[in-house]
Structures are given as C-alpha cells and as structure tokens.
Structure 1
Amino acid sequence: MPGEPPPRVVVAGGHSAGHIEPAMNFADALRRLEPTAEITALGTVRGLDTTLIPARGYPLELIPPAPLPRRLNRALLQTPGRLRDSVRAAEAVLDRVRADVVVGFGGYVAMPAYFAAHRQGLPIVIHEANARPGVANRLGARMTTRVFTAAPSVRLAHATAIGIPLRPTITGLDRPVLRDAARRRFGLRPDGPVLMVTGGSQGARSINAAVSGAAAALRATGVQVLHITGRQHVVEPPDRDAADPPYVIVPYVDDMRYAYAAADFVICRSGAMTCAELAAVGLPAAYVPLPLRGGEQRLNAEPVIAAGGALLVDDADLDPTWIETTLIPVLTEPGRIAAMSAHASAVGAPDADVVLARHVLNAVAEQRGIAPRGSK
C-alpha cells in the first residue's frame, strides 16, 4: 500500500546449513516479491551463521546461543539462565530493527526468537524442513498458527505442507538443456547413463567404499560415474589405465546444478535439503539414510520412495554386491529411470520459497491492519 513502510522481517534459522539454507532461500524470495523489504538474520557464534549468512548478503545480528541439552547434566541446569539472556538479546534486536514479523526455521537461534516475538505480540511464522521437528519448532508451533512443513507427514501443530524453500538455480534447472555442457565440465561422455555419488558436503565413507568397490562392474555395463567424495575423503581411481566409460572423482562441487544436470541417477544420504532438491529437479536416487539421529533421514526420504521415485538401502546393507545386483539393473534401464524421474518430480515443490514469502507478507499486512495480498 502506498505510504506504508517496507516490511521488516527477522529471520531466525541458524547453526547448521540445514537451517540456514532454507532461511536464506526464503529471504531471497521475499526480496524478489518485495524489493524494499528489510530483512535481518538472527544468529549465534556457534555453527555456520557467521560464514553462510553474510555470504548471502543479509545483515546478521548475533545473540547468545541457548542450546537445549539432551541429557540431565550441569549444562541443562544452566539452560534457563542462558535462554533468558538470549531472549532479552533477541528482544533488543526486534526493537532496534522495528520488526513486523519473526520467521523461524529451527535451530539454536529460533527458540529465543519465538519467545521474544511472542512477548512483543509480533506474528510468528515457522518452517520445519525435517521430517522430525526439533524442540524449538515444536515449542514455537504452540505460539502461532502460521506453521509450514516440508511434507504432510510432519507432525507439528497447525502445519501446512509446502515443501522446502530452494534456490531458483535449482528449481529452475532444465537438466536436458544443460546436460551436454555439464558432462563436458566433468569430462563425461555425452551419452550413456551417469551415476552421481555424494555423501553430502562432508562425504560418506560407506557410500564411497561401496561405489568404488563396484567400479569394475559399473564400467563393464557402460555406467559412467561422477563421484563427489567430500573434502575429507580420498578415493583412488579404480583403474588408472581405463578411461572409458569415465569414472570421475572430485572432492567437492561448488555449483550442484551442473552435477544434477550431468546425472541420471544419484546415490546419496537423505538429508532434508538433498531430498527436496533431487525431487525438484526430477532426479531419481538410491537413498542411504545416515544411521544416526533416530532414523530421521529415513523419514525424509519416505515420500519420494512411496511415490516410486527412489530406492532405499540401509547403510549396513550398502556394499559393492548391492550396487552390482540391485542398482546396476536400474541404471541400465532407461525406461525405468525415466519413470522414476517423473515420480520424483511429482513429489517436488519448486515454489515453496515464494509460497512462504507470500504468507509472511500477509502476516505483516494483518499485523498492520491492512488488506493481505490477494484479497479484495
């Protein structure tokens, strides 16, 4: 509305990339919809906040961390005092930037932000990317009805499933158009199936060992491999004298859209962002859930597996024999890969960033007593 000040939005989603990435993707979408929006990120000195958030171009306000220990110990006894200090610091930030709304994505910084917003009567919008909500978002969901999740199966009060906010470079990726250039980039042939291997930014020893151990079988069936090992892992080329079909080993890929465009199939962990990105670009996968965190990664992969867009293999069952007997028959059937790709795409939610941004702008409008966007 003419004469109205710009929306002032505080984003609270810190500590891990799994919290920060969707928060920053949302912020980018909000700025595209409302270029005048004033967006401030809350963070702590723990984790990746001071690295990832400034790199995306948003001002960062630091507050004391207030993690909730999972065991009965001295740290748990100190939690009330730490939380009180953190809430006060968050309130000071909200006052200073004259916030209209707090948008939380979980993590250490979200809980004090929710309490601070609730005490000041500000609207709270929550997004939960994981299949199993964390403590901060479970508590925050009791303070608001504006709660959004990655999938309908996520158990959180008042939740509406919208997917996970992703970068436009991923959601707008046209894999067939970019495929040839992407394969040249990595030294892959333009034709023939390509298996992309990744264990996430840190790599995964079990995935690396299983795929490299099956290298001879993969090559014998004409499957090319783009193996992203992780910077802390070393995988020796399976046969230094064999160059066809290529088995390309790289420690890290800065721009994953090229890796996605080059690949026909992926074997990887099933973190929430990984599952969301692969579904958005229509890449079928064999998911190997991290055997920790109470099986959370298995839950992340369940929607696309149920839709027929992915396979599931337990970390303990993943070995070269599984690659040879189960995965290679899939990789060498173009019709099956195409069908799985279509099923994966059907689960994807490429517009979650914009959907969430519109809900936040409507919350600001309601807070100011003006008509929300889209209303008459």
Structure 2
Amino acid sequence: MPPAYLAARRRGVPVVIHEQNPLPGLANRLGARLTRYVATTYAGTPLPHAVHTGMPLRAEIGELGGLDAAARAVAMRAARAELGLRPDLPTLLVFGGSLGAQRLNETFAAAAAEVRAAGVQVLHVSGLGKAVDVPVEGPTPYVVVPYVDRMQVAYAAADVAVCRSGANTVCEPATVGLPGVYVPLPVGNGEQRLNAEPLVRAGGGLLVDDAACTPDWVRTVVLPLLRDEAAVRSMGEAARGFAVPHADERLADLVDAAIEGVAPSTLRSVPGGAA
C-alpha cells in the first residue's frame, strides 16, 4: 500500500484511508501522513486526521440490525427453518471465518454431546476443508456446514455467537445485536484482542483466551449464558448500542469530501455512545 499512496500523491490523486483495527498498521500510519481523509472503525485509533466512521458492512447486515423485535422474530424463525434448526431452542452460532478455527472446531466437537443434552442447538461453520465429528442424529440439532455465504441468515438464527475477533467479525454481530463470545487468534500483535475489548467493555460480549477455550469453559460459561435470557437480551442491546450504523454512507461521504477537496469536518457525526 505505501507505494500506491506515494504514487497517488505524486499524481495528485486524492487518497482516502480506512483503518479497520484499533491499532493501525505501518502502511496506514504512513498513508495517514499523506492525506487528511482518514477513516477509522474504532474511536480513538491513533492516526493523524482520523474521522470515526465505523466499519462499512454489507447492506443485508445493516437491514437485519434495523429490524424491530417483531420483524426480527419472523426473521429468526425463517432463518432457523432454512438452516435445519428448530424454532424453539436456544441457538449457538460457532464460526471461525472462511478457513475455520481449529481451536473452536476441536472444542465444540468435544463438547457437542453436553451442549445438545443441555437443549442448546448449534450452527457450526467449520471452515472449508475442515471436518467436525459430531453425530448427525439426535433430538437437538447440531448442524455443521463448511461455509455460509449469507451470514445474515446465520446471525438471524442465533442467540449467541462464539467466534474469533477480526474487526469485521466483531462489527457484524454488534450491528445485528447478537452477543458475541470472542476468542482472539493468539498471534501477531494481539490486534484481535484489541478489536473485541471495546465491545466487551460496553457489555456487548465476552472475551476468552484461546488456551482457555475448552469443553469445560463451554460447560461453565457458554451454556449458562445461553440459558439466561435476560443476560442475552442485555448483551444484545449493548452490542447494538456499540455498533455504528450506516458506516458505509459515512465512508462514502469521506470519499466525496476527498474528491471535492472539502474538509472532513463536514461529515455527519457518529451517534452518541457508539465506539
């Protein structure tokens, strides 16, 4: 990216940067010095000229997040029917991105019998090319699929999600008001933990170390949460309050401002309380 930033500056082409993570990478730290049009997903990201826009998401995610309670209940029933889940059971979504997450796959495969015995059904997105050994038959559904290309349907079906915490993975469940239990990938500079921490502080999710994501943790933390409807509802409301709606429009406004050469301060503000 730095070569592109430098080439654009040399040719007089406007540059707009969007930094997804709370801790910016080297390329965007350099790029932010070359333009005054810098968007961030998180408030307080340490970049020059930063404007907090939130994370641009697909329209289907925003639409699901904008439903009222009655419409959301209809969407939930339709999503569960489409995915082979029962309409009347607490529902857990487990996913680790398109490539899956080996820790989540192993942990929930080992805990599957106990989860089902507790009356909790599961939609488990294993990742392409990865298997989760769970018996298909049983009174409580445990649906394993390698990939979901319409995540809004998976979110609509779920009461709680257990997942990694890439920036997009944190922002999507928050936008639809889905409580997340985040298991950061334990590599790199710890950016996945940093992604989830503001949402967790806001009350919209839980955070667990990768090494602590075990069948016993599922038993003692995840299952009690799914049984506590008031806690799930409260976390969902906090998650929705943390999210920044219409971030795509704010980023588009910033692009327009860059093209027109006007100050970024003319952009619409983020709703109060959003992080």
Q: TM-score, normalised by structure 1?
A: 0.66
Unpaired stretches in structure 2, ≥5 consecutive residues: 269-275
Letter in 2 for 1:254: D
Of structures 1 and 2, the larger Rg is shown by 1
* Number of residue equivalences: 259
Give how far 1:116 is off.
1.4
Give how far 1:170 is off.
0.8
| Pair 1:176-2:67 in alignment | no
Q: Distance in 2 between matches of 1:219 and 1:187?
A: 15
Give how far 1:121 is off.
2.8
- Tell me the equivalent position of 1:78: none
- Tell me the equivalent position of 2:126: 229
- The correspondence for 1:342, drawn from 222, 228, 237, is 237
The equivalences for 1:77-96 within 5 A come to none
Q: Distance in 2 between matches of 1:146 and 1:248?
A: 44
Structure with higher RCO (Cα < 8 A, 6+ apart): 2
Give how far 1:254 is off.
1.2
Deviations 1:18-42 (A, max 9, x none): xxxxxxxxxxxxxxxxxxxxxxxxx
Q: Distance in 1 between matches of 2:189 and 2:150?
A: 31
Q: Distance in 2 between matches of 1:227 and 1:308?
A: 24
| Pair 1:259-2:150 in alignment | no
| Pair 1:197-2:88 in alignment | no
Give how far 1:327 is off.
1.0
Contact 1:163/1:352, CA 8 A, preserved across alignment: yes
Deviations 1:235-288 (A, max 9, x none): 112x3442x211111111111111011011000000011111111111101100
Unpaired stretches in structure 1, ≥5 consecutive residues: 1-109
Q: Distance in 2 between matches of 1:231 and 1:154?
A: 33
Give how far 1:159 is off.
1.2
Deviations 1:219-246 (A, max 9, x none): 1221110011011211112x3442x211
Q: Distance in 2 between matches of 1:278 and 1:364?
A: 32
Q: Distance in 1 between matches of 2:136 and 2:251?
A: 49
| Pair 1:280-2:166 in alignment | no
The equivalences for 1:24-35 within 5 A come to none
Give how far 1:122 is off.
3.1
Q: Distance in 2 between matches of 1:373 and 1:344?
A: 24
- The correspondence for 2:20, drawn from 107, 129, 136, is 129
Deviations 1:193-220 (A, max 9, x none): 1000001110011111111211122112
Q: Single out whichever of 112-121 and 309-318 deviates more from structure 2.
A: 112-121
Deviations 1:147-198 (A, max 9, x none): 1101113221221222111111111114433111110111111112100000
Give how far 1:124 is off.
2.0
Letter in 2 for 1:196: L
Q: Distance in 2 between matches of 1:240 and 1:352?
A: 40
Q: Distance in 2 between matches of 1:266 and 1:120?
A: 46
Identity level (%): 50
Change (3 A) 1:226 1:146: same
Q: Distance in 2 between matches of 1:342 and 1:356?
A: 25
Q: Distance in 1 between matches of 2:40 and 2:182?
A: 21
- The correspondence for 2:195, drawn from 300, 305, 308, is 300
Letter in 2 for 1:169: E
- The correspondence for 1:327, drawn from 222, 228, 231, is 222
Q: TM-score, normalised by structure 2?
A: 0.90
Contact 1:221/1:332, CA 8 A, preserved across alignment: no
Contact 1:166/1:350, CA 8 A, preserved across alignment: no
Letter in 2 for 1:340: M
Contact 2:136/2:142, CA 8 A, preserved across alignment: no
